[in-house]
Amino acid sequence: MSPSTLQPQAENKAGPSSIGTELEFFVAVRIDDGSQPTVPKMFASSEGNPLVVPEAGSRGRALETYVIDHVRHTITLALEKKLRGKTRVIASPQDLDDREARHLGPYMGWTVEREGTAPMPEDILGQSGVSDYMWVDLEVKSPALWATDGAFLEILDVVQALQQTYWTCTPPTTALQFHYGCGKDYIPFRNLRRIAALLYAADPLLAQLHPQHRRNNTYSLSNRLYSILAHGLTESVANGDSEAPETEPEAPDHRGEGSDSQREVKVQGSTKFKTVFARGMLTGYDISAHTFYITDPDTPLSLGPVRVPRGYTCKPLGILTAVREILHCTTTPGISERMGTLRERPAYDFGAYADSRYMRETPRRRQQPKRTIEFRQAAGTMDPDEVVAHAKVVVRLCEWASTAHLAEFWKLILDCEAGESTPSWFDVFDLLARLDLNAEAKVLQRSMAPRYGIEILDEDAGTAKYPETLDPKAWNWDRRTIV
């Protein structure tokens, strides 16, 4: 049987969702030499403690090994004797006998290693007592987990154990990343295309969840602003894979097409969650000439039949036009290339689908390409509830995009497009409410409020104390859910 005959069959099989996470953070370490260093202010009320290392193993590789082994043991203890059914995609080495699963070999269990790229900022080291400790950068990776309640509890338990055992620090140099997939299988092409379209449109709204230092970060560049698609890649460049699944385009040809004109539009109040942010308070990216990294604007960079100025000095493609192009795309390399960036890494990375080996009949034994979409823009955090809330948002975005009717899907795209230019109409909390993520919105609001100088007084009532520079009376508090 040829690969081309197998692909449509595989295309109809959408397996359950899976999720993996990567935590980047620093651990405070002190040498067991009898001294009592100052407790930094940031850890005055911490549940954890600095990791005390024997003086004999306090240097170089010995220190690194001691810290990694200690953190690994803490994770093992956190999960010991907790039976939650099957949460892991690869539950045993025997599961790797399936050729389709071999790319998940490194993701059978929780791993701990040095992060290696994130420095501890000087402004933090300069705080009283902080430099009295050594700071070891770590990256903890979860196994590939089925997106179930048990898996989210497992993530919660691990992060909570780390938070309660150590002094952990997540400066702006750290990130929180997620990998969404369908277990050992490829994400079906139609689903992949839908997810790409939604993430392109929702990117400016989702950015509202994250601090400024994660926007326009070279490790998580906006797909909406910096992707190849945003700067003019034409349909003919990336739609030539003869082994592509036979999937028809599904984008409406006109702005209003795809919606039911006979359907009555109803407006109902949202009673599940009252955010302390009025519409218009939150903004996404600043789309202006100053937004783009201008390196050498006079030197063009060739991209096949089109030419894009080096440094992205041209205005990015509009959301509706770009979404239509994604939904008309017919190959996985086409989607991957469109959502990629010229340099660095995008916020939503489809690079695993750049390979034309997508859904081939016999996968190679070694060097199998990954099969996940990577979400890279969240800031580093060791708040257990926040980590899980972000994970659930990732899963819900992908599942909703994959299953929504075209009319419903296109309606959300239109609202995202309107929200980019008019935040007082539609913002990230409206998006989360539309996706039934009110509980997650409440959690994420807790980390967002301090960035705006807002003190939440009553989470359920949606009341808060605002700084003098942020007058709540000047904003639109008529938060509605349009159904």
The residue that leads in pLDDT, 151 or 62, is 151
Mean pLDDT of 437-451: 95
> In this structure, are 404 and 465 located in the same domain?
yes
pLDDT at 241: 41
Q: Are 119 and 90 in contact (CB under 8 A)?
A: no
* Residue 375 within a domain: yes
> In this structure, are 122 and 215 located in the same domain?
no
The residue that leads in pLDDT, 8 or 409, is 409
pLDDT at 471: 74
- Domain coverage including residue 73: 14-173
> In this structure, are 56 and 168 located in the same domain?
yes
> In this structure, are 374 and 235 located in the same domain?
yes
- Which of 139, 173, 207 marks a domain boundary? 173
* Residue 167 within a domain: yes
> In this structure, are 403 and 356 located in the same domain?
yes
**Helix 60-79 vs helix 149-165: angle between axes, to the nearest 10 degrees?**
130
Q: Are 205 and 419 in contact (CB under 8 A)?
A: yes
* Residue 412 within a domain: yes
Q: Are 219 and 376 in contact (CB under 8 A)?
A: yes
Q: Are 18 and 39 in contact (CB under 8 A)?
A: no
Q: Are 441 and 429 in contact (CB under 8 A)?
A: yes
Beta pairing, strands 176-181 & 18-32: antiparallel
Mean pLDDT of 248-277: 51
Mean pLDDT of 317-322: 91
For the segment 134-175, what is each residue's pLDDT rounded down to a tens digit? 999 999 999 999 999 999 999 999 999 999 999 999 999 999
For residue 367, the tally of other CB atoms under 10 A from its CB is 7
> In this structure, are 124 and 203 located in the same domain?
no
Beta pairing, strands 168-169 & 18-32: antiparallel
* Residue 253 within a domain: no
pLDDT at 28: 96
> In this structure, are 167 and 234 located in the same domain?
no
Short-list 443, 428, 440, CA closest to 392: 440
For residue 362, the tally of other CB atoms under 10 A from its CB is 10
Could you tell me how far CA 395 lies from the centroid of its own chain? 10
Please count the structural domains in the chain.
Answer: 2
pLDDT at 42: 94
* Residue 6 within a domain: no
> In this structure, are 277 and 148 located in the same domain?
no
> In this structure, are 98 and 227 located in the same domain?
no
* Residue 255 within a domain: no
> In this structure, are 166 and 201 located in the same domain?
no
* Backbone conformation region of residue 22, classed left if phi is above 0, alpha if psi is from -120 to 50, else beta: beta
Q: Residue 472 pLDDT more than 90?
A: no
* Residue 263 within a domain: no
> In this structure, are 116 and 205 located in the same domain?
no
> In this structure, are 134 and 211 located in the same domain?
no
Q: What is the DSSP letter of 10?
A: H
Mean pLDDT of 74-80: 95
Q: Residue 90 pLDDT more than 50?
A: yes
User: Which residues 6+ apart lie within 8 Å of 195 measured at CB?
Assistant: 180, 187, 373, 397, 398, 401, 402
Q: Residue 181 pLDDT more than 90?
A: yes
As a whole number of angstroms, the distance between CA 376 and CA 221 comes to 9
